[in-house]
Amino acid sequence: MTISTTKRLAALALLASIALGACSSGAASSAPSSAASTARASTAPGGGALTGSIVIDGSSTVYPITEAVTEEFKKTNAGVQIGVAESGTGGGFKKFCAGETDINDASRPIKKADAAEGVACKTNGVDYVQLQVAIDGLTVAVNPRNSWANCLTLAQLKIIYGPDSPEKLTWDQVDPTFPKEPVVRFMPGADSGTFDYFTEAVNGKVDASTAFATQSEDDNVLVTGVAGDKNAIGYFGYAYYAENKAKIKAVGIDGGAGCVAPTETTIGDGTYKPLSRPLFIYPNTGKAKASPALKAYVDYYLANTAALAAEVGYVAVPETLAQQQVSAWNGAVPK
């Protein structure tokens, strides 16, 4: 009795997996044409005789751009298998320098002297080139009912977010003309690239920050927090502000040359300082030389990042800089 039951269960499982295997290949061929393909498909609809696989990992900030590029690239190159993961810039670099991934998305430059990054890449013979693909404008936002903080200087930001900031800070301590209300602070998680960049730009040193703020790894939570309290202030990527303009208000930043509000223009031409941070990809040049698919992918990336980055909420790199990236790429991996 037991044996037959066990055998029955095993047979059921086996049947299910076979059915699934058949099902998935069946479903693949009946799924919407523009995107589905399995490893078996060699002649792809839409042309493009390129085949191969590309593994991309890294920053969750750069991820949306890479996702957009991958989706568009796939439409004309259905024979290439691409997987995009987001383990974080650090985790991504470790895998990249171990030779496990083909491209690393990064929201900060690689740390050349670090044992798990630059040094590991050298030891393992992983050659790369740093390509900037977009700019993210870190936006400081306040509640729409906040009528006083329309422009803040870097010094004022430091009062709010600096390491010496007291636990109970009031707005009038930031500027005597502001009301005497508590400052309700929000900020991204201390391990995110946004945090690292902001603290370095505003407080002078990476990781130098007040601890008296509500932190969240999920920027949506920060938006909700700022939108929910009249005295709240928070900072996050521009995309999160752009999507929620009805709920929050951006603060102009005075980096020494007058008040500049974050817009696509000011971030793109560099006048929104110093809170514009570059976003990079690091392709493995050795692998690109050996794989036409990888080379084609990066070519496509550089050619289309301007449009696609804007679509997902980032700002395109200025034209001259973009040309430089293309030259650098073609120099490292000739056509």
Partner 1 sequence: MAASLGVVTTIGIVVLLTYQTVQFFQIVNPIDFLTGTVWSASIEPYKFGVLALVSGTLLVATIAMIIGTPLGLLSAILLSEYSSNRVRNIVKPVLETIAGIPTIVLGFFAINFLSPEVLKPIFGDDIGIFSALAGGIVVGILITPLIASISEDAMRAVPRGLREGAYAMGATKFEVVRKVVLPAAVSGVMASIVLAMSRAVGETMAVVLAVGTRPQLTFNPLESVQTMTAFIVQITQGETSQGSVQFLSLFAVAMVLFVITFALNLASAWIVRRYRTAY
Partner 2 sequence: MAGLTATPAASSPPRFEPALMRRKLTGTLFYGACLAAIGILIVALLALLLDVLIVGLPWLDIDFIASMPSRRPAQAGVLPALVGSIELAIIVGLITFPVGIGAALYLAEYAPDTRVTRLLQTNISNLAGVPSIIYGIFGLAIFVRLLGLGPVLFSGAATLALVILPLVIIASIEAIKAVPQAQREGAYALGASRWQMVRSSVLPAAAPGIMTGIILAMARAIGEAAPLVVVGAAAFVTSLPQPLSGSFTVLPIQVFNWAQRPQADFQGIAAAAIIVILVLVFILNLLALVVRARLSRHIQW
Of partner 2, partner 1, none, which one sits near residue 215, judging by CB under 5 to 8 A according to partner kind? Answer: partner 1
Looking at 62, 68, 142, 260, which residue binds partner 2 (CB under 8 A)?
68
**Tokens 């058949």 — which residue?**
22
d(CA 208, CA 202): 9
Closest approach, Cβ 79 to partner 1, in A, equals 32
Nearest CB to partner 1, comparing residues 114 and 175: 114
Closest approach, Cβ 243 to partner 1, in A, equals 17
Q: Is 17 in the site for partner 2 (CB under 8 A)?
A: yes
- 266, 260 Cβ separation under 8 angstroms: yes
d(CA 129, CA 151): 38
Q: What angle do CA 133, 110, 253 make, to 5 degrees?
A: 60
Looking at 50, 58, 64, 96, which residue binds partner 2 (CB under 8 A)?
64
Looking at 124, 220, 265, 327, which residue binds partner 2 (CB under 8 A)?
220
Looking at 181, 191, 218, 269, which residue binds partner 2 (CB under 8 A)?
218
Looking at 224, 244, 271, 324, which residue binds partner 1 (CB under 8 A)?
224
The tokens for 121 are: 């890449």
Taking phi over 0 as left and psi of -120 to 50 as alpha, with beta for the rest, 58 belongs to left
d(CA 103, CA 97): 10
- From the centroid of its chain, how far is CA 213? 23
The Cβ of residue 305 has, within 10 Å, a number of other Cβ atoms equal to 25
Nearest CB to partner 2, comparing residues 70 and 199: 70
Of partner 2, partner 1, none, which one sits near residue 190, judging by CB under 5 to 8 A according to partner kind? Answer: partner 1
Of partner 2, partner 1, none, which one sits near residue 116, judging by CB under 5 to 8 A according to partner kind? Answer: partner 1
DSSP letter string, 247-279: T-EEPEEESSSSEE---HHHHHHT-S-S-EEEE
Closest approach, Cβ 161 to partner 1, in A, equals 11
Closest approach, Cβ 147 to partner 2, in A, equals 25
The tokens for 157 are: 């930001």
Q: Phi and psi dihedrals of 184, rounded to 5?
A: -95, 105
* Maximum C-alpha span of the chain: 84
Residues in region 254-273 near partner 1 by CB under 8 A: none
Binding-site string for partner 1 from residue 62 to residue 101, where x marks contact by CB under 8 A and - marks none: -------------------------xxxxx-xx-------
- 106, 77 Cβ separation under 8 angstroms: no
Q: Please list the alpha-helical segments (H only) found in 31-111.
A: 63-76, 89-97
Q: What angle do CA 18, 24, 26 make, to 5 degrees?
A: 100
Q: Is 221 in the site for partner 1 (CB under 8 A)?
A: yes
Question: Which residue type does 96 have?
Answer: F
User: What DSSP element (H or E) covers 298?
Assistant: helix 292-311
Q: Is 234 in the site for partner 1 (CB under 8 A)?
A: no
Looking at 53, 215, 263, 304, which residue binds partner 1 (CB under 8 A)?
215
Give the interface with partner 2 as residue ranges (CB under 8 A).
Answer: 1-3, 5, 9, 13, 16-17, 20, 24-25, 27-28, 30-32, 35-39, 53, 55, 57, 60, 63-64, 66-68, 70-71, 74, 80-87, 91, 95, 98, 100, 218-220, 223, 237, 239-240, 242-244, 311-313
Give the interface with partner 1 as residue ranges (CB under 8 A).
Answer: 59-60, 87-91, 93-94, 107-108, 111, 114-117, 120, 163, 189-193, 195-196, 205, 207-209, 211, 214-218, 221, 224-225, 228
